[in-house]
Amino acid sequence: MKIAAITEDGIAISQHFGRAPLYLVATVEGGKIVSKETRDKTGHHTFAAHHTQLAPGERHGYDAGAQVRHTSMMENIADCQVLIAGGMGWGAYESLKSRNIQAIVTDVGTIDEAIKLYLEDRLPNLMERLH
């Protein structure tokens, strides 16, 4: 199993999926992390020139180009089953779900602790952090 977490430094979980520049991907076998790797992640920094203002009542991550941006952001974790983040938009959450990647939005601060809690089935999934 592969578990990805969004990060800026390879240690802490970033608070927003779209803004994080990296993934830390952990390979888990027999309930233990057997390897870790850092992968680049496209995000808001990549798409800044294409930023569009939301129309009144429009949900974040559902504008005309959102699916293209989400696909680009998720290409590097297509082999992962889980993504851990501190927060994200509903559009990204639903895009992950459509790719059979379980998105978990948590307040746990470090990647190692979050993975440990996930493997123990104790990682809090705070859906109220979706926007």
pTM of this structure: 0.85
Positive or negative, the CA dihedral 27, 31, 34, 35 is positive
pLDDT tens readout for residues 53-102: 555 655 555 556 666 776 778 899 999 999 999 999 898 999 999 999 99
C-alpha triplet 83, 87, 90: angle, nearest 5°: 85
CATH code of domain 2-30+65-126:
3.30.420.130
Cross-strand bridge partners of residue 42: none
Q: Which of 7, 13, 4, 12 is nearest to 126 (CA)?
A: 13
CA distance 47 to 56: 22
